[in-house]
Structure 1
Amino acid sequence: MNHKPTGLNGWRVRHWVAAIGAALLVTLTPLSYIQWKQFSLIEDVAVNQIDSIMWQSYQLERELSHLSSAIQVSLEPGAVLDVDHLVERYEVFVSRIAVVTDIPRNDLLNTTPAYLEAIRLVNAFVLEADPVFADTGELLQQRTARQALVRSIEQIEPALGELTREANRATARFVDERNAQLREQGGLVIALAGVQAGVLLLFVALLVRHLRRQVVQYEKLQAVSHELAVAKDEAEAANHGKSVFLANMSHEIRTPFQGVMGMLNLLDETRLSSQQRDFVQTARDSAQHLLGVLNDILDVSTMESGTLRLAPEPVSLRALTQEVESLMRATAREKGLALDVETAPDLPDWVMADPTRVRQIMFNLLGNAVKFTNEGSVTARLSRLEGTPGGVCLTVQDTGMGMDAATVAQLFTRFYQADNSIRRRIGGSGLGLEISRNLANMMGGTIDVSSEVDQGSLFTVHMILPETAAPAQQMPSSGHTDPSRQLRVLVAEDHPINLKYMNILLDRMGHEAVFCENGQEALQLLARQRFDVVLLDYHMPVLDGLAATAAIRALDGPSKDIKVVLVTADVVNDTRKKALDVGVNEFASKPLQAQDLQRALQRCGLLDAATMLVNDPVPVLEAAAPEPDELNTSAAGLIDTESYTEIVAMMPPDTMDELLGTLFEPPEGSVHVLLASLAAGDAAQIAYDAHKLKGTAMLLGFRALVRTSAQIERLAPEDNPTLRRELGNQLLVDKERTQLALQQFALTVPA
């Protein structure tokens, strides 16, 4: 583990650095100054050439001696006078005068009596000799003039000798002074070096002390690190245990839910009185609510563990919005609210998104808006987010009770309840907004809210959903599968209610089912019998779904290649990967619905895409009117009589007839418009007309038409003329059956 110096440790490190820097500054600054002074002294000697003072004085004395010798030679009897040689010697002597007087650092000599006397005599000699050497024709030829110069030279020579000696003494004094300075500076250097050594020793001692403390701290940190590692391992183990617990609890709770909801769905299709049907609907609503709370808790737990992942795919935002609107409209209508959900014209047709999670955000926000609005309207709009590539903006505005600033500040806090009385009266787990915000963040966006008490609320969601092309349409089946094929299905399920529900479900779908309670029994049955597909529950005793799949793939013979569909309510994200790794072909979620199972069998290649959902098999029309018992059974399966009765009671007869005409009457009736779209083959128009028919049929409680139109909407992208023809036939049959049931139902309703 890496530990950065923070707090007190950081303060100590900074002060250590400052102290060392100050000590180095104090000791090195004088040393640097002394070194600079020594360099200056050496440079002064080199530049000014102090030792040349004596040499130049000696040169002046020597050149005067050469001049004297040359003149004396010219005075000897019989000597030949060499005028040029005499002039040359004189000029050399004169040049040496300037060297002595102008030499660098002549301040060491020019104040001495010897220098002053010598220079005076030399200057007087020059005044005397210049006329002589200037007139080489007469004066220099005169013997008496040369003799006078010799006498003058004899007077100067002692003074120049004394000047040379004085220059020697001056040089010696200068050297002594420089040596004294160097000795003094050397002493200072030694003293400062000693001080520096002492300071360094002190710092070494302090550093050793500090290092010892660091070693102690390091050992403590190592111990803490070890404790943290142990705690981390324990936390990971606890998190793994939590994941396992969530998986088990998801299974243990959702498994009986499958039985409860499945049986409620089956019970709703039997002959029930209005009161009984109300009881069933209440029970189903309660079960759905409880399942929603469970899903919220599991979603939050999955987000906490960091294992929640989005599954983006091409999504039509308009179709998704229409789906949410159709499901929310009934709830809004029950409260007398106006619900307006619209999509902007410039919204992309297809985007890459996780449709489940986008739908979850929309349901949460619209559901809250409807829930907390007693009168007025709820308006939702989906549009592009300007200035952001791939940005989509969802706004949900209501005219409800609104919130104050304190409530808005705590709105996304888990389990936060602004008003306990309202929460108890309206309900809610307090998790939906937190989940929605986290999902929006995962999609690269945010959720903002503005609200005022009694003025309603406005929620704004930003999401990054990149635009994409429409998904490629699936090719029609090659014909190797039979749309009416009966499958032999092996079902491994340990819950008795689910066994009963799946038995009824598979029977209605027209398949033969064999049941067992665990994976081990499934293996034994596969060894003795032939099956087309195996439905395995994920959590089972003896041998669970994953272990059973691995054992199936290890078998010898054709059974090892059988299609395996895993039925699970597990929300742990790596379940799908583990299942695919051991050889699972497809998945179906709990609570298991006929549509989900049908799609899984279709993706396994066991059924053609044209296969109809046979929980309401295609009937054969009879010319004669049904008997009363048949009528009641038919109406229960085709019409939600309670919903239809409520609609009839609310509307005048002429309005009701007009509404039914918009549904059934050719050529403008919704059914006939959809039939025409199916014949034309325009996938987008088919989906739109089917969605429109589905909404009207849901409003009137026409169950068969809802099922068929929903199936047509879902299969609209399929470019399969045979499938569309069969769907049209099914729609026509459901229309005729529904109209017939309406006629018979009207006869039984008191005027």
Structure 2
Amino acid sequence: MNTETTGLNGWWVRHWVAAIGAALLVTLTPLSYIQWKQFSLIEDVAVNQIDSIMWQSYQLERELSHLSSAIQVSLEPEDVLDVDHLVERYEVFVSRIAVVTDIPRNDLLNTTPAYLEAIRLVNAFVLEADPVFADTGELLQPRTARQALIRSIEQIEPALGELTREANRATARFVDERNAQLREQGGLVIALAGVQSGVLLLFVALLVRHLRRQVVQYEKLQAVSRELAVARDEAEAANHGKSVFLANMSHEIRTPFQGVLGMLNLLDETRLSGQQRDYVQTAHDSAQHLLGVLNDILDVSTMESGTLRLAPEPVRLRSLVQEVESLMRASAREKGLKLQVDTAHDLPEWVMADPTRVRQILFNLLGNAVKFTPQGSITARLCRLEGTPSGVCLTVQDTGMGMDAATVAQLFTRFYQADNSVRRRIGGSGLGLEISRNLATMMGGNIEVMSEPGQGSLFTVHLILPETVAPAEGSHPLSSTLEMRQLRVLVAEDHPINLKYMNILLDRMGHEAVFCENGHEALQLLARQRFDVVLLDYHMPVLDGMATTAAIRALSGPNKDIKVVLVTADVVNDTRQKALEVGVNEFASKPLQSQDLRRALQRCGLLDASTVLVNDLAPVPDVDTPDPDELNTSAAGLIDTESYTEIVAMMPPDTMEELLGTLFEAPQGSVHVLVASLAAGDAAQIAYDAHKLKGTAMLLGFRALVRTSAQIERLAPEDNAALRRELGNQLLVDMERTQHALRQFAQAEPA
């Protein structure tokens, strides 16, 4: 809108300037011409001295009269003849003739009869008089010559008088003509001035109209601006509300996750059957997956609000990469993929980096490679970035399905999925790559991708990780061979399941715990008892973790300086900075795990390095199962060996063979029945057959078949023939790989 308004205003300004310029040109050009004409007339009068015509004619007449008088006097008897005086008067008269005939504007006279007659007589007189005045002896002769001159003068005098009058009339005519021209020009000036005034009034009217329109438009723009300001304020308020909502949702979702994951961990430590352990593991994996999606959404929101901050610290780069490799190797092995991770020998040993965020980038790229590579290999390499100090280059190359140019162009777009069928089959929130690219940008680098359909993909990550020295010996996190001393812990937590979980967790870690439901109760307990550390939930009724910490620091007793660990799931706002300002010592994120709690307590200085670690978890029952490493890499993870071993131990061989036949033998085996249902397209039958296969596969511990049949059951209502055909092919592949794994398992069993 601003651009359009500016362009419109510019158009109006240009056209107004052009119109005003044209009007001024039209009105001022004639005025200028008239003024020039008036100036020419005045200049003509000044230069040519028009009014001197009459005067010069009169002077000629007067000099003739003086000459006549002088000659008349010379004729008096008693007068003595003064020849020189007569000659002088004659010469003066003759000089006046040239003045009349050579005057600049003699054109006003030289065509009149009076002028022609007078000049003729004067010229005749000069011809007569020149010989007389040329020879002074003639003047001294008897008066006859002078008398003849007198008679000639008497003939000329009427003509010169008439010439003087004619000159007067010519001058009057000229003045009249000039005055007429001036009046005409004055009239034109008045007319043009009127036209100019009219034009100017018209332009003023148009300008006033335009200004009024501009005022109206300005008022509209002001109204729009106010509306936009209100909309902006509402958007900012909505964004703030979204941040608060996400913070609350983070707490509300992570808080029950605390109990869910904690209880699943504790349940996994009890004596379970293979099937029960598989159920627990499936529930734990699902909870972890949901937590990962939540973390992705919260990370994106944090980046949007600009509150995400890196926390660089000395990191041993090779160890971090090896840690990620070890965690991803199981996923790759389960799909039969070869995973190779290489680190260049010239990599810096220690760098300044945020280990959590670097690990997140590695997990996202390697996780995507595993997801979208059905077979083949994945190769990751970490090396120095040439030509860039402190630069590190990570490449992840797979032999997966690859992508076309259109998909690559939108790959980092939020929630973008190249293929809905892929999304449904493989899953994912579509946020991992966007988060990874933003994190790489925050670390001074970027992520690039090269891919072709069917040829796999190559992701290249550039990061700026300054080299540093190894941290001091005392600054390392708690070693796995050390345990903290027994502590008296005050726990403020309002969620009953979390209270139960933390009670078991602290008891396993060998600490004495006292529990309360809010910050107010915690302050009351601190006023009466001594504690080593306080674990505060961030969101609690009455007094939350922040307010409770501020109140603790305001105490006057010895508990004023007690160590405070804030347990929070709030990753959206600047919680860490605010908490540090009120006096929190350390942080532990939800869901709370034992290693996270140990790490927080160690950073608080509450570890006793002289104490030997007592295992805080109950020992896992020793089940006599074959080593998974004995299985072929392409089949490892396809079956739960504990569940399958229990079933084999319970059933006679022929019964076990019959049971396997109900799954694998065509055409009545459950796998083939489900494939046929997928081909027929009956959604209800597909769901029934998938559920039936899933139950049998779970009983036997066939994990790959459980996953695929569960996916088929979930997608049964989808009317997508291509997807059903794809899932049927996947089911047959899983069956063949499971059978192959069973054969290898049978060969690996002791005789």
What is the CA-CA distance between 1:491 and the residue it aligns to?
1.6
1:56–1:96: 8 Å Cα contact kept in structure 2? Answer: no
Q: Distance in 1 between matches of 2:324 and 2:131?
A: 130
Runs of 5+ consecutive residues of structure 2 not aligned to the other structure: 75-79, 476-481, 634-748
Query: What is the aligned partner in structure 1 of residue 533 from structure 2?
Result: 533
Query: What is the aligned partner in structure 1 of residue 542 from structure 2?
Result: 542
Deviates more, 1:39-48 or 1:398-407: 398-407
2:83–2:136: 8 Å Cα contact kept in structure 1? Answer: no
Query: What is the aligned partner in structure 2 of residue 180 from structure 1?
Result: 183
Corresponding position: 1:247 with 2:247: yes
Change (3 A) 1:67 1:536: same
Change (3 A) 1:39 1:292: same
Change (3 A) 1:374 1:93: same
1:118–1:163: 8 Å Cα contact kept in structure 2? Answer: no
Query: What is the aligned partner in structure 1 of residue 468 from structure 2?
Result: 470
Change (3 A) 1:92 1:616: farther
2:314–2:470: 8 Å Cα contact kept in structure 1? Answer: no
1:447–1:461: 8 Å Cα contact kept in structure 2? Answer: yes
Change (3 A) 1:420 1:208: closer
Residue identity in the other structure for 2:36: S
Deviates more, 1:15-24 or 1:173-182: 15-24
Deviates more, 1:565-574 or 1:198-207: 198-207
Change (3 A) 1:380 1:750: closer
Q: Distance in 2 between matches of 1:390 and 1:126?
A: 120
What is the CA-CA distance between 1:289 and the residue it aligns to?
1.6
What is the CA-CA distance between 1:548 and the residue it aligns to?
1.6
What is the CA-CA distance between 1:450 and the residue it aligns to?
4.2
Query: What is the aligned partner in structure 2 of residue 291 from structure 1?
Result: 291
Q: Distance in 1 between matches of 2:216 and 2:598?
A: 72
Q: Distance in 1 between matches of 2:397 and 2:59?
A: 117
Q: Distance in 2 between matches of 1:116 and 1:141?
A: 34
Query: What is the aligned partner in structure 1 of residue 570 from structure 2?
Result: 570
Q: Distance in 2 between matches of 1:140 and 1:509?
A: 164
Q: Distance in 2 between matches of 1:613 and 1:141?
A: 169
Deviations 1:91-122 (A, max 9, x none): 96477468613x6xx76666555566667777
Residue 311 of structure 1 aligns to a residue in which SS? coil
Query: What is the aligned partner in structure 2 of residue 360 from structure 1?
Result: 360
Residue identity in the other structure for 1:560: K
Deviates more, 1:365-374 or 1:333-342: 333-342
Change (3 A) 1:89 1:499: same
Residue 248 of structure 2 aligns to a residue in which SS? helix
Q: Distance in 2 between matches of 1:251 and 1:301?
A: 15
Residue identity in the other structure for 2:294: L
What pairs up with 1:513-662 in 2 under 5 angstroms? 513-607=513-607, 614=613, 616=615, 645-648=627-630
Residue identity in the other structure for 1:203: L
Deviations 1:660-682 (A, max 9, x none): xxxxxxxxxxxxxxxxxxxxxxx
Residue identity in the other structure for 1:592: L
Select 2:53's aligned residue among 44, 51, 57: 57
Change (3 A) 1:149 1:247: farther
Query: What is the aligned partner in structure 1 of residue 431 from structure 2?
Result: 431
Query: What is the aligned partner in structure 2 of residue 81 from structure 1?
Result: 84
Query: What is the aligned partner in structure 2 of residue 667 from structure 1?
Result: none
Residue 468 of structure 2 aligns to a residue in which SS? coil
Residue identity in the other structure for 1:569: A
Deviations 1:645-671 (A, max 9, x none): 2225669xxxxxxxxxxxxxxxxxxxx
Q: Distance in 2 between matches of 1:452 and 1:85?
A: 125
Query: What is the aligned partner in structure 1 of residue 308 from structure 2?
Result: 309
Change (3 A) 1:393 1:177: farther
TM-score, normalising length from structure 1?
A: 0.67
Residue identity in the other structure for 2:538: Y
Q: Distance in 2 between matches of 1:383 and 1:129?
A: 131
Q: Distance in 2 between matches of 1:161 and 1:646?
A: 146
What is the CA-CA distance between 1:368 and the residue it aligns to?
0.9
What is the CA-CA distance between 1:36 and the residue it aligns to?
0.8
Change (3 A) 1:171 1:213: same
What is the CA-CA distance between 1:566 and the residue it aligns to?
0.6
Residue identity in the other structure for 2:534: V
2:31–2:189: 8 Å Cα contact kept in structure 1? Answer: no
Change (3 A) 1:197 1:418: closer
TM-score, normalising length from structure 2?
A: 0.67
What is the CA-CA distance between 1:171 and the residue it aligns to?
2.5
Query: What is the aligned partner in structure 2 of residue 666 from structure 1?
Result: none
Q: Distance in 2 between matches of 1:640 and 1:107?
A: 143
Q: Distance in 1 between matches of 2:26 and 2:615?
A: 104
Q: Which has the larger Rg?
A: 2
Query: What is the aligned partner in structure 1 of residue 27 from structure 2?
Result: 31
What is the CA-CA distance between 1:294 and the residue it aligns to?
1.6
2:243–2:573: 8 Å Cα contact kept in structure 1? Answer: no
What is the CA-CA distance between 1:291 and the residue it aligns to?
1.3
1:299–1:435: 8 Å Cα contact kept in structure 2? Answer: yes
Q: Distance in 2 between matches of 1:137 and 1:470?
A: 134
Change (3 A) 1:437 1:92: farther
Change (3 A) 1:167 1:343: farther
Q: Superposition RMSD on alpha carbons, in Å?
A: 5.0
What pairs up with 1:93-132 in 2 under 5 angstroms? 93=96, 96=99, 100-101=103-104
Residue identity in the other structure for 1:647: D
What is the CA-CA distance between 1:180 and the residue it aligns to?
3.0
Deviations 1:721-745 (A, max 9, x none): xxxxxxxxxxxxxxxxxxxxxxxxx
Larger relative contact order (C-alpha < 8 A, sep ≥ 6)?
A: 2
Residue 536 of structure 2 aligns to a residue in which SS? strand
Q: Distance in 2 between matches of 1:459 and 1:400?
A: 12
Query: What is the aligned partner in structure 1 of residue 487 from structure 2?
Result: 487
Q: Distance in 1 between matches of 2:467 and 2:86?
A: 118
What is the CA-CA distance between 1:598 and the residue it aligns to?
3.6
Corresponding position: 1:48 with 2:44: yes
What is the CA-CA distance between 1:331 and the residue it aligns to?
2.8
2:63–2:92: 8 Å Cα contact kept in structure 1? Answer: yes
What is the CA-CA distance between 1:60 and the residue it aligns to?
3.2
Q: Distance in 2 between matches of 1:338 and 1:395?
A: 16
Q: Distance in 1 between matches of 2:161 and 2:35?
A: 39
2:348–2:467: 8 Å Cα contact kept in structure 1? Answer: no
What is the CA-CA distance between 1:53 and the residue it aligns to?
3.6
2:396–2:459: 8 Å Cα contact kept in structure 1? Answer: yes
Q: Distance in 2 between matches of 1:301 and 1:381?
A: 31
Residue identity in the other structure for 2:199: Q
Change (3 A) 1:22 1:359: same
Query: What is the aligned partner in structure 1 of residue 379 from structure 2?
Result: 379
1:53–1:167: 8 Å Cα contact kept in structure 2? Answer: no
1:109–1:170: 8 Å Cα contact kept in structure 2? Answer: no
Q: Distance in 2 between matches of 1:346 and 1:130?
A: 131
Q: Distance in 1 between matches of 2:339 and 2:146?
A: 139
What is the CA-CA distance between 1:234 and the residue it aligns to?
5.3
Query: What is the aligned partner in structure 2 of residue 716 from structure 1?
Result: none
Deviations 1:25-52 (A, max 9, x none): 6654442123212321232123322684
Change (3 A) 1:87 1:288: farther
Q: Distance in 2 between matches of 1:217 and 1:459?
A: 51
Q: Distance in 2 between matches of 1:174 and 1:300?
A: 94
Residue 42 of structure 2 aligns to a residue in which SS? helix
Residue 534 of structure 1 aligns to a residue in which SS? strand
Q: Distance in 1 between matches of 2:373 and 2:496?
A: 43
Corresponding position: 1:203 with 2:199: no
Residue identity in the other structure for 1:293: V
Q: Distance in 1 between matches of 2:348 and 2:120?
A: 112
Q: Distance in 2 between matches of 1:633 and 1:248?
A: 34
Residue identity in the other structure for 1:489: V
What is the CA-CA distance between 1:525 and the residue it aligns to?
0.8
Query: What is the aligned partner in structure 1 of residue 160 from structure 2?
Result: 157
What is the CA-CA distance between 1:530 and the residue it aligns to?
1.3
